Structure 1
Amino acid sequence: MLTVEELHAGYGGTEILRGLTMTVAPGEIVAVLGSNGVGKTTLNKVLSGVCPATSGCIRFLGQDITRASSQAIVELGLIHVPEGRKIFPNMTVRENLELGSYRRGKANRAANLAKVFAIFPRLEERARQRAGTLSGGEQQMLAIGRGLMAEPRLIILDEPSLGLSPLLVEEMFALVSRINAEGLAVMLVEQNVVQSLELAGRAFILENGTFALQGSAKDLAADPALRRAYLGL
């Protein structure tokens, strides 16, 4: 579904991504894990067409999207839910969700809205409420729901557990599992190593713009180097 080969990117004269190669297959959850400042958000921006690649190749559903615009990438069904939610605080919950289908999914807007409300009943309860008055967990639900309105083929979730209480983190990972169970491929970009490895099938550990470790999530969870670096064991 998604193939990234020898991807390099950065800002100005500073190279952030140094030759990343990875794949995401239909229907799977792939985790990209790492601490702050290692290049996770830059990777997401390059895949979404917001930040240009300096070299390498990105293919999605068989099409080369390395130089494609963000609008064209969205229209293909590669949807990025950004870190920090990026909702429109002065618009209602419903209006935020409807904006999710601006480039893709407009014809099925009503049906998709019903699906989002079925996944996130709290959003339906607050449909007429201004998005900025929602709790942090509700805002994250809204950000994911807005992404689902675009009928994604692959959804990139950038730090969905960031800033949430432990209880809400558990709920958020359960919701990601539920979305994936319906057949949606998920690229989960997180600092939360333990729960991400429990959820994902495969994982890539990003350090200083390169993948230091990669493989099955189960194998990586048992890897002594990862356990020392991230789990303190």
Structure 2
Amino acid sequence: MLEISDLKAGYGSVDILYGIDMRVAEGEIVAVLGSNGVGKTTLNNTISGLIRARAGSILFNGSEISHCSSAEIVGLGIAHVPEGRRVFPDLTVEENLEVGAYRRAGANKRRNIERMFQAFPRLKERRSQAAGTLSGGEQQMLAIARGLMSEPRLLILDEPSLGLSPVMVEEMFSLIRRINAEGLSIMLVEQNVVQSLEVASRTYVLEQGRFAISGSSQEVMANPELRRTYLGM
């Protein structure tokens, strides 16, 4: 579904990504792990068209998208839920969901809002409440639900567990499993190593703009370098 080859990107005169190769197959969860500042968000933003690739290729369903606008990429079926939730705080929960259908699946907006309320009962209880008054976990649910409103084929989640309580982290990863079980491909970009490896079929570990480790999640978990660097074992 998504195939990236020799991708290079950065900001101004600064290079951040130095030749990324990765793929996400239809129906799978792929994790991209890494600490702060190694290029995870730059990778997401380049795939989503928020910044331009300097070199390399990004294929989505066989079509090159590295020169597409972010709006065109959403229209093709990629939804990006950014780090930090970024809900519209002064809009209600329901209005935030409506925004998610602006570029794609607008004809199914009302149906999909009700689907989101079935999937996220807490949001239904707060449908008329300003999004800025929700808890952190509820805002993260809203951000994901807003992404799902466009009926994407690939969902990119950037640090969905960041800043959540342990209970909410468990709930978030359960939600990711449930969404994937319905057939949606997910690119999960996280610092939460253990739980990401548990839900993903394959994993890439990003270090300073390059993938230092990649393979099945079982292989990555068993890699002594990962265990030493990230798990302190």
For normalisation by structure 2, the TM-score amounts to 0.99
User: Greater CA deviation, 126-135 or 109-118?
Assistant: 109-118
Could you list the per-position Cα deviations for residues 64-118 of structure 1 after superposition, in whole angstroms to 9, with x for gaps in the alignment? Answer: 0011000110000011000000100000000000100000010111111111111
Question: Residues of 1 paired with 2:33 and 2:117: CA distance?
Answer: 29
Query: Which residue identity lines up with residue 165 of structure 1 in the other structure?
Result: S
Q: Deviations over 1:110-158 (max 9, x none)?
A: 1111111111100000000000000000000000000000000000000
Larger CA deviation: 88-97 vs 115-124: 115-124
1:15 counterpart letter in structure 2: D
Q: Does 1:16 align with 2:16?
A: yes
Q: Which runs of 4+ in 1 moved over 2 A?
A: none
Alignment-derived partner of residue 75 in structure 1: 75
Give the Cα–Cα distance (whole angstroms) in 2 for the partners of residues 80 and 150 of structure 1. 11
Supply the distance in 1 between the matched residues of 2:214 and 2:111 (Cα, whole angstroms): 38
Please say if 1:114 is aligned against 2:114. Answer: yes
Q: Which residue in 2 is equivalent to 1:48?
A: 48
One-letter identity of the residue aligned with 1:226: L
Instruction: Look up the match of 1:35.
Output: 35
Aligned residue for 2:230, secondary structure, equals helix
Query: What is the SS of the residue equivalent to 1:8?
Result: strand
Trace 1:84-95 onto structure 2 (pairs within 5 A).
Answer: 84-95=84-95
Deviations 1:7-26 (A, max 9, x none): 00001111000000000000
Count of paired positions: 233
| Counterpart position of 2:2 | 2
1:208 corresponds to 2:208: yes
Residue 145 of structure 1 is matched in structure 2 by: 145
Counterparts of 1:134 and 1:89 in 2: how far apart (Å)? 9
Residue identity in the other structure for 1:202: R
Residue type at the aligned position of 1:160: P
Cα deviation code 1:153-183 (max 9, x no counterpart): 0000000000000110000000000000000
Return the alpha-carbon distance in structure 1 between the equivalents of residues 87 and 163 of structure 2: 15
Structure 1 length as normaliser, TM-score?
A: 0.99
Matched to 2:2, the amino acid is L
Give the drift of 1:62: 1.2
Q: Which structure 1 residue ranges, 5 or more long, are not aligned? A: none
Q: CA deviation at 1:223?
A: 1.2
Q: Which amino acid aligns with 1:70?
A: S
Q: Give the SS at the match of 1:175.
A: helix
Please give the alpha-carbon distance, in whole angstroms, between the structure 2 residues aligned to 1:166 and 1:223: 26
Residue 219 of structure 2 corresponds to residue 219 of structure 1: yes
Residue matched to 1:165: 165
> What's the CA shift for 1:222?
1.4
Alpha-carbon distance in 2 for matches of 1:91, 1:118: 20
Displacement of 1:61 in angstroms is 1.1
The residue type equivalent to 1:121 in the other structure is P
Determine helix, strand or coil for the equivalent of 2:150. Answer: coil
